[in-house]
């Protein structure tokens, strides 16, 4: 039976070690960073909507296109394809749902720094300049 354990302290680590000790041969163990949380996701979309409404540099982009552009700036794999009937490019590729909490904090910081430089009026407080302030 599959088990998911969030390693928050010594008791969770001990439990995980016990599971490994009792695991059958050929069992598979996977350890990864936690993915973004709901608060980060909500903050990101609010900020992307604010940037989209502000139209910095006269860019008439949707929040989805802004997300792809910011992810590209941070080095995430993003691909743009030409739309039907020469309607312009649209983004494909890396999904923000796969970002870790730390990567999502970096993305939120990137959006905030860009918006601050371009006079975006935020619909909610963005907080300080540190990634941890924007992580929640």
Instruction: Please report how many Cα atoms fall inside a 13 Å half-sphere around the Cα of residue 9, on the Cβ side.
Output: 1
pLDDT cut 70: percent of the chain above it: 88
Q: pTM, whole model, 2 decimals?
A: 0.69
Whether 80 contacts 91, CB under 8 Å: yes
35-94 confidence digits (pLDDT tens): 899 999 999 999 999 999 999 999 999 998 899 889 989 988 767 777 777 777 776 766
Q: What confidence tier does 130 reach under pLDDT thresholds 50, 70, 90?
A: very low
In the chain, where are the structural domains located?
1-31, 33-135
Whether 47 contacts 115, CB under 8 Å: yes
Task: Average the pLDDT over each of 23-27, 48-52, 128-132 and give the range with the smallest value.
Answer: 128-132
What CATH code is assigned to 33-135? 1.10.3790.10
Residue 91: how many CB atoms within 10 A of its CB?
19
Whether 78 contacts 68, CB under 8 Å: yes
E strand or H helix at 82, and its extent?
strand 78-82
3-class secondary-structure state, position 13: helix
């Amino acid at each position: 039976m599959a088990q998911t354990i969030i390693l928050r302290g010594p008791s969770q680590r001990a439990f995980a070690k016990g599971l490994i000790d009792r695991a059958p041969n050929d069992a598979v163990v996977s350890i990864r960073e936690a993915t973004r949380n709901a608060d980060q996701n909500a903050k990101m979309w609010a900020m992307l909507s604010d940037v989209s409404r502000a139209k910095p540099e006269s860019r008439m982009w949707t929040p989805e296109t802004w997300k792809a552009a910011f992810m590209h700036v941070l080095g995430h794999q993003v691909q743009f394809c030409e739309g039907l009937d020469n309607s312009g490019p649209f983004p494909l590729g890396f999904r923000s749902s796969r970002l870790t909490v730390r990567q999502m904090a970096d993305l939120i910081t990137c959006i905030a720094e860009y918006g601050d430089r371009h006079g975006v009026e935020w619909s909610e407080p963005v907080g300080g300049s540190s990634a941890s302030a924007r992580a929640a």
